[in-house]
Structures are given as structure tokens and as C-alpha cells.
């Protein structure tokens, strides 16, 4: 009984219903296409055109044909022996006589057709006329092929039919394609990286991101050994959201997860769901999950999910966002609806997690958020080692120095630095990439291209030298200022000069450290006022940074004397667009505190410059002569720096392989040796 029931069920499944009006279409989801009606009408019109051309050959009787031959009105004759038919071409001067009123119609194609009594009779008649009258009539005997004639007749129709079928298959997405629509507009654009083909990425290809790799390792274990978790009653997570700035390796990390798990990997961008046609985004979401279910267990990676997962109702824009919301609703349904998506894990990446819809972030959809932050010092060292593998480097290249020189750089930025250094070395005809090439690459990426041919007067050059020397002097005598690497007055990008520092990577920053940084930034403007007597527009960038830092210290960090311990920072990411969280009186107080803080540091900068005026002038003179100076030149002018920076200490003790953040406090007593 069970077998019979099973057979009946299979038979019922095999019989697909025919949709009414579908003209026997076995697929009810794809009804009869109206474009076939247009195709039939077009072929009918073309057929009428072609068949109408057959009337350009005039049919005549045998007696009339004999008259035309006797009167020398025929130029050439072709006799088809297998059909007893002759086709003759009329001389141009006899077209009016033969065709009469239709002469204008036949002037370009003056042919007549006649049924001959027999091939032998026609041959004897033509020989007699040519012999008696001496006419120059070309006579040829031939046979016709019916198949070839039919092919010549119907070849245009066959080509049109083939072309139309090809167009219909393209419009319907090909045989067995899901989604349908014109030119497969409703099909998913996800790129499939199958486990049996293509290059596999593993965690060895991902440098740094140690914390993030530990979290995604669990996803790999879910896919490899799901029974270890389901046996205990647990459920495999539906998805994980990778959050981090651009270029930090979110996509690469997702590919590594797929490579480690050895499962198919679907990759698609969030913008691929958005289309101008209504319902296309939801259709692509359905098609994506349909393909994923067929390939399960697998991973679906949606890059830049904020393009489709933006919070609903906040930016309605007069109803024009309905299509985006429909796409999001379909995505929410597919991720955690009534349907089962067992074996399909969703990975998504975004750098705008604050604007995502709350329904998308709840448990059961994206169960966890994995933060992929900018690499720290140790991570940058590992990333440099990965990108330096294919590059021929010199012994002078210090990976630790490069890592210290690139704070705030993402993995993509570091890859760009390595590539740019190789290009610079190749441009200079070098056999190996040296340390100077990497420094030039960092300068090129951060500051822009050198403009050595920029027209600058001697007075302007002197002003720039004094400005940059002011920055260098203050950074040397301020304890918490970033250590100087080099100073240049060569124009680069939009800047007429620049000072390069080795920034400190602090986990926390004190008020004194921030004030020292502000004072060093104001050193250029202060040097102009003290040593030139007038200020210029060259300090615009410095003033912008100082102003932003001052407002941040007062409004966000609560580092004001008159407004202590107050913070107006909104961690939700929603800026105060229409109203501020403080009153007008408080705003005036904030402005006054900012002005007082900047003025205090400006006066402090002028005092330090006046105290070290001789060294500053000497430094400016060296800049005018050499256009670039390094930290060694400052040590020669001012003497050894009173304070040993954290960066220098790490570089001097690089033989000690330890974490930079575990350095002992010099104020503490040393640990006794065992």
C-alpha cells in the first residue's frame, strides 16, 4: 500500500497543470509570450514582400516567344531541360515593345518565362534562326535543383525564425532559468565560486584580523560538522554581519570562510538588487535563495548590504522608496520565514551599520556582528609581509618601520603602498625596491604627486620654509607631539609644503597630549607672525584641524574648564540635523571655550618659537637650500630630543619580539631575574 501511494504521488507531481490561455505551455510560471504574435505578423509581411518579387518575370506563350526571337528582341536564353522551361532576357531597346505598359516595372529586370514543347524542339528552332538570320543570341542549357531553389526561397525566413527564437530564449532567461523577465532582469546576478573550480582562499591568505578570524572560525565549524551542534539541540546561526571601514578585508574574510569550509560561495552586491523595474529586486532575492538551496550547504555573501537594507520609513521620499522596501521585505522573509533554509548561511558586509533596519539585525537573521577594524601595528606588519611576497625588496626595507609609518591604513591601502613602491622603483630603473621607494609611495598616497615645476617666487618659498620650520621646531620641543620624520617645501598635491610625522598609536589620549598636538599644528601660523610679521593662507589646513579638535575636546570629550564632564556625542550615528542638543547660551559658551583654548595654544607656540628662534632660523635656511630635511638634521641643530618617544623606543628595541602595548612603564621598578 505504501508503494502504491508513493507511485500515485509521483504521478501527480509529474503532471504539471496547463495554465489557461497558455497554449499548452508545460510551465505555468511562464505563460504564452505575446512577442510570438509580433513575430508571426512580421514574417507574414516579409513573406508577402518576397513572394511579390516573383511577379517581376513575365510569362509568355511559345508563339510570342518565337516572334521575339525572329525579331531579334532576345539577348540571351537559358533552357532548363529537366523542366521544359526557358528563361530569356529581353534586349534593352525592346523592353517597351515586349512589356508594354509594364515596361517601367521590368526595366531593371527584363526577363520572360516560356514553356517549350521540348528541349530538342527549342534547340532546333534557335539553331535555325541563328543560322538563317545571323543573330547573336547566347543560348545555354542547364538543369534546376528543386532543393536548392527552395533553400534560396526560404533562406531569409529560416534566418528570421532562428534569430527570433534566439531572442525569445534571451528574453526568457534560457531553458530552465528561474526568475524570467526581459533579458533575465529578474534573475540573480550573484557570482558563484564553486568548491570544485576557481582559486580557493583560506585564512592563511588573510593577514591580521585575528579576532575576526576567531569568530568566523565558528561558522566554518558549523558548515563542516553541523551534527556536533544539532545533537545538543542547538541551531546553526542564520547569518553574520561583517562591520568595518572600507578596505579592511571583509570580502576577503568571507571568501576565506567559504574556502575553509569547502562549500559553494555566492557573492553579490547590495546594489545588484536595486533596479528601475517594479518587483525586480524581490525577484532577484527569491532567485538567489533558490540557487543557494540547490547548492546547500553554502554561503551567500551580500556586499554593501546597506544599499538594500536601509531602515524603512525614514527616507520615504514621497513613496519612491517602495521598491527598495519590497526588496528588503523579501530578504527578511527569505532569511527567517516559514520556509526552511537549512545549510545556507548569510554573510553580509557594511560600513554603515547604523542605518540598517532593526528587523534585519535581530536574532534569527543576523545572529552576530563581527567587527573588522582597521589593522593595528602587529596586523599591519602581517599585511605587509603578505603583499611583499611577490615584490623584490632590498635589505634596507624594514617591515616594522613601514608598519609604524602607515597608521590608519587599511589592508587595501597597504596593498596600494606596496604596488606604488614597485612602480616608483621600476620608474627609476632599479633592480630592487628600496626603503626610499616605500617612503616615497606613502608620501605619494598621503600628500599627492610632487609638483617640482610649480612657479614659486623667492619670497613665497621663504615663507613656506619658515612655516614648515615652525612645525618642526615645536614638534621637537613638545613632549607629546608626534615625532618628526622629515620636512619638505616641495609642493605636493594641494599643499605647498609638508611635515611628516611618525604618529603614536595610543589607546587612550590625555588632554595634555591633545594640547601639544594643537600647539604643534599652530606652529606654522605662529612662525609666520613672529618671523615675517604677517600671516598667509598657507595655514588653512592646520586651522581646520585645530578647530575640529578643539570642538571635539569640548563638546564630545568634556575637556573644558567651564563645561566639564559634558558630552553631546550621539553614538547612534544620527546627527543632529534640525536642532542641537544644547541651548543658544551653551553654544555661545562652547564657542568662547574653543576660542580661548586655541588662543592659549597659539600664545604658547609663539613663546616656544621665540625661545628657540636661532635654531628655527637655521632650520629654515637649511630648508631653503636642500628643500627637504630629516630628523637627523633637527638633532644636529637642536641637539638630542629631551624625550624618547614610544615609536623610537620600539624601533630601537625591535629585536625584542613582544607586543608594543605590553611595554613596561619606566617609572615602575624592573622585574627581578629568576
What integer pLDDT is reported at residue 589 of this predicted model? 92
Mean predicted confidence (pLDDT) in 20-48: 53
The whole model's pTM is what?
Answer: 0.60
What integer pLDDT is reported at residue 226 of this predicted model? 77
* pLDDT over threshold 70, residue 105: yes
What integer pLDDT is reported at residue 2 of this predicted model? 44
Residue 346 CA to residue 367 CA, distance in Å, equals 10
Contacts with 563 (C-beta within 8 Å, 6 or more apart), sequence order:
554, 586, 589, 590, 593
Strand order in the sheet with 58-60: 58-60, 111-115, 85-90, 74-80, 138-142
Mean predicted confidence (pLDDT) in 565-593: 79
Residue 601 CA to residue 664 CA, distance in Å, equals 31
- For the chain, the average pLDDT equals 76
Secondary element (H or E) of residue 193 = strand 191-193
- Mapping DSSP onto H, E and C, the string for 197-250 reads CCCCCCHHHCCCCHHHHHHHHHHHHHHHCCHHHHCCCCCCCCEEEEECCCCCCH
Q: Looking at per-residue confidence, does 660 or 78 come out higher?
A: 78
* pLDDT over threshold 90, residue 507: no
DSSP string spanning 606-630?
A: HHHHHHTHHHHHHHHHHHHHHSEEE
Residue 468 falls in the annotated catalytic set: yes
Confidence of residue 338 (pLDDT cuts 50, 70, 90): low
Residue 147 CA to residue 115 CA, distance in Å, equals 21
Residue 118 CA to residue 379 CA, distance in Å, equals 98
Residue 634 CA to residue 618 CA, distance in Å, equals 10
Question: Cβ of 214: how many Cβ atoms within 10 Å?
Answer: 10
- Give the helix ranges, DSSP H, for 478-583: 511-521, 523-531, 540-555
What integer pLDDT is reported at residue 144 of this predicted model? 66
Mean predicted confidence (pLDDT) in 620-637: 82
Q: What's 89's DSSP letter?
A: E
Confidence of residue 195 (pLDDT cuts 50, 70, 90): low
DSSP E strands: which ranges in 457-612?
484-488, 498-501
* pLDDT over threshold 80, residue 501: no
Cα dihedral across residues 669, 672, 673, 674: positive or negative? negative
Confidence of residue 13 (pLDDT cuts 50, 70, 90): very low
Alpha carbon 528 to its chain's center:
45
The answer to whether residues 157 and 43 touch, using CB atoms and an 8 Å cutoff, is yes
Task: Note the residue count of the chain.
Answer: 674
Q: What's 670's DSSP letter?
A: P
Confidence of residue 1 (pLDDT cuts 50, 70, 90): very low
Question: Cβ of 338: how many Cβ atoms within 10 Å?
Answer: 5
* pLDDT over threshold 90, residue 14: no
Confidence of residue 416 (pLDDT cuts 50, 70, 90): very high
Q: Shortest CA distance to 154 belongs to which of 59, 57, 43, 55?
A: 43
HSE of 212, CA atoms in CB hemisphere, 13 A: 28
What integer pLDDT is reported at residue 572 of this predicted model? 64
The one catalytic residue in 304, 323, 468, 517 is 468
- Percent of the chain whose predicted confidence (pLDDT) is above 70: 74
* pLDDT over threshold 50, residue 314: yes
* pLDDT over threshold 80, residue 395: yes
What integer pLDDT is reported at residue 660 of this predicted model? 42
Mean predicted confidence (pLDDT) in 59-66: 85
Q: Shortest CA distance to 126 belongs to which of 47, 62, 206?
A: 62
Mean predicted confidence (pLDDT) in 380-395: 88
Bridge-based pairing of strands 85-90 and 498-501 is unpaired
Confidence of residue 295 (pLDDT cuts 50, 70, 90): confident
* pLDDT over threshold 70, residue 313: no
- In angstroms, the Cα distances linking 28 to 22, 32, 127, 538 are 8, 9, 71, 72
User: Is residue 575 packed enough to be buried (19+ CB in 10 Å), middle (13-18) or exposed (0-12)?
Assistant: exposed
* pLDDT over threshold 50, residue 26: no
Cα dihedral across residues 19, 21, 25, 29: positive or negative? negative
Alpha carbon 247 to its chain's center:
12
Q: Shortest CA distance to 200 belongs to which of 250, 261, 241, 249?
A: 261
Residue 616 CA to residue 465 CA, distance in Å, equals 10
Mean predicted confidence (pLDDT) in 183-189: 56
The answer to whether residues 554 and 593 touch, using CB atoms and an 8 Å cutoff, is yes
Mean predicted confidence (pLDDT) in 277-290: 78
What integer pLDDT is reported at residue 361 of this predicted model? 84
Q: Bridge partners of 241?
A: 348, 369
What integer pLDDT is reported at residue 603 of this predicted model? 94
First to last CA, the chain: 83
- Mapping DSSP onto H, E and C, the string for 300-312 reads EEEECHHHCCECC
What integer pLDDT is reported at residue 596 of this predicted model? 93
Question: How is the chain split among helix, strand and coil, in percent rounded to 5?
Answer: 50, 10, 35
The answer to whether residues 207 and 383 touch, using CB atoms and an 8 Å cutoff, is yes
The answer to whether residues 281 and 330 touch, using CB atoms and an 8 Å cutoff, is yes
Q: What's 91's DSSP letter?
A: -
What integer pLDDT is reported at residue 674 of this predicted model? 35
Residue 546 CA to residue 153 CA, distance in Å, equals 84
- Max Cα distance, the chain (Å): 138
What integer pLDDT is reported at residue 282 of this predicted model? 81
* pLDDT over threshold 50, residue 53: no
* pLDDT over threshold 70, residue 186: no
Q: In a 3-state reduction of DSSP, which class is residue 60? A: strand
What integer pLDDT is reported at residue 29 of this predicted model? 44
Q: Looking at per-residue confidence, does 230 or 350 come out higher?
A: 350
What integer pLDDT is reported at residue 145 of this predicted model? 56
Amino acid at each position: 500500500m505504501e508503494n502504491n501511494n508513493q507511485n500515485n504521488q509521483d504521478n501527480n507531481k509529474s503532471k504539471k497543470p496547463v495554465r489557461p490561455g497558455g497554449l499548452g505551455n508545460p510551465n505555468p510560471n511562464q505563460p504564452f509570450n505575446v512577442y510570438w504574435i509580433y513575430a508571426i505578423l512580421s514574417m507574414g509581411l516579409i513573406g508577402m514582400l518576397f513572394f511579390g518579387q516573383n511577379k517581376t518575370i513575365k510569362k509568355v506563350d511559345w508563339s510570342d516567344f518565337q516572334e521575339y526571337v525572329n525579331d531579334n528582341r532576345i539577348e540571351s536564353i537559358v533552357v532548363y531541360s529537366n523542366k521544359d522551361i526557358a528563361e530569356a532576357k529581353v534586349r534593352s531597346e525592346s523592353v517597351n515593345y515586349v512589356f508594354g505598359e509594364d515596361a517601367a516595372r521590368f526595366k531593371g529586370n527584363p526577363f520572360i518565362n516560356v514553356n517549350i514543347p521540348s528541349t530538342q524542339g527549342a534547340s532546333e528552332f534557335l539553331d535555325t534562326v541563328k543560322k538563317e538570320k545571323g543573330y547573336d543570341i547566347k543560348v545555354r542549357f542547364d538543369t534546376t535543383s528543386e532543393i536548392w531553389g527552395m533553400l534560396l526561397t526560404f533562406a531569409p525566413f529560416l534566418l528570421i525564425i532562428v534569430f527570433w527564437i534566439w531572442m525569445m530564449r534571451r528574453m526568457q532567461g534560457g531553458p530552465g532559468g528561474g526568475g524570467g523577465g526581459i533579458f533575465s532582469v529578474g534573475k540573480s546576478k550573484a557570482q558563484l565560486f564553486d568548491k570544485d573550480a576557481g582559486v580557493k582562499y583560506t585564512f592563511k591568505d588573510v593577514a591580521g584580523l585575528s579576532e575576526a578570524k576567531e569568530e568566523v572560525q565558528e561558522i566554518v565549524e558549523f558548515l563542516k560538522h553541523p551534527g556536533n551542534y544539532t545533537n545538543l539541540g542547538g541551531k546553526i546561526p542564520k547569518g553574520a554581519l561583517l562591520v568595518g571601514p572600507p578596505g579592511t578585508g571583509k570580502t576577503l574574510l568571507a571568501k576565506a570562510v567559504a574556502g575553509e569550509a569547502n562549500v559553494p560561495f555566492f557573492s553579490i552586491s547590495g546594489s545588484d538588487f536595486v533596479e528601475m523595474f517594479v518587483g525586480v529586486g524581490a525577484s532577484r532575492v527569491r532567485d538567489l535563495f533558490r540557487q543557494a538551496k540547490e547548492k546547500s550547504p553554502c554561503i551567500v555573501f551580500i556586499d554593501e548590504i546597506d544599499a538594500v537594507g536601509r531602515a524603512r520609513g525614514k527616507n520615504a521620499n514621497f513613496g519612491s522608496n517602495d521598491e527598495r522596501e519590497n526588496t528588503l521585505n523579501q530578504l527578511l522573509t527569505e532569511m527567517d520565514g516559514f520556509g526552511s533554509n537549512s545549510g545556507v548561511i548569510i554573510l553580509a558586509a557594511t560600513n554603515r551599520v547604523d542605518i540598517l533596519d532593526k528587523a534585519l539585525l535581530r536574532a534569527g537573521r543576523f545572529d552576530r556582528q563581527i567587527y573588522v577594524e582597521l589593522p593595528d601595528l602587529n596586523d599591519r606588519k602581517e599585511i605587509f609581509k603578505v603583499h611583499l611576497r611577490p615584490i623584490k625588496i632590498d635589505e634596507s626595507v624594514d617591515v616594522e618601520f613601514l608598519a609604524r609609518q602607515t597608521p590608519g591604513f587599511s589592508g587595501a591601502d597597504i596593498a596600494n603602498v606596496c604596488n606604488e613602491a614597485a612602480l616608483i622603483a621600476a620608474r627609476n630603473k632599479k633592480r630592487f625596491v628600496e626603503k626610499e621607494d616605500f617612503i616615497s609611495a606613502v608620501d605619494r598616497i598621503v600628500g599627492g604627486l610632487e609638483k617640482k615645476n610649480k612657479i614659486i617666487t623667492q619670497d613665497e618659498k621663504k615663507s613656506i620654509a619658515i612655516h614648515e620650520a615652525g612645525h618642526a621646531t615645536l614638534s621637537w620641543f613638545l613632549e607629546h607631539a608626534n615625532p618628526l620624520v622629515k620636512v619638505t617645501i616641495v609642493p605636493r598635491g594641494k599643499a605647498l609644503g609638508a611635515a611628516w610625522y611618525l604618529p603614536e598609536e595610543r589607546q587612550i589620549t590625555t588632554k595634555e597630549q591633545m594640547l601639544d598636538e594643537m600647539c604643534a599644528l599652530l606652529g606654522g601660523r605662529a612662525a609666520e607672525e613672529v618671523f615675517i610679521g604677517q600671516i598667509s593662507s598657507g595655514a588653512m589646513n592646520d586651522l581646520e584641524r585645530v578647530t575640529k579638535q578643539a570642538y571635539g575636546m569640548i563638546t564630545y570629550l568634556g575637556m573644558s574648564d567651564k563645561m566639564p564632564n559634558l558630552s553631546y556625542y550621539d553614538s547612534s550615528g544620527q546627527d543632529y540635523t534640525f536642532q542641537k542638543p544644547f541651548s543658544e547660551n551653551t553654544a555661545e559658551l562652547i564657542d568662547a571655550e574653543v576660542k580661548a583654548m586655541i588662543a592659549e595654544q597659539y600664545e604658547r607656540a609663539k613663546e616656544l618659537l621665540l625661545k628657540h628662534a636661532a635654531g628655527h632660523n637655521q632650520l629654515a635656511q637649511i630648508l631653503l637650500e636642500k628643500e627637504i630635511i630629516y630628523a637627523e638634521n633637527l638633532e644636529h641643530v637642536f641637539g638630542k630630543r629631551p624625550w624618547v618617544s614610544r615609536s623610537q623606543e620600539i624601533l630601537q628595541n625591535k629585536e625584542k619580539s613582544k607586543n608594543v602595548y605590553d611595554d613596561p612603564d619606566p617609572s615602575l621598578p624592573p622585574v627581578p631575574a629568576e
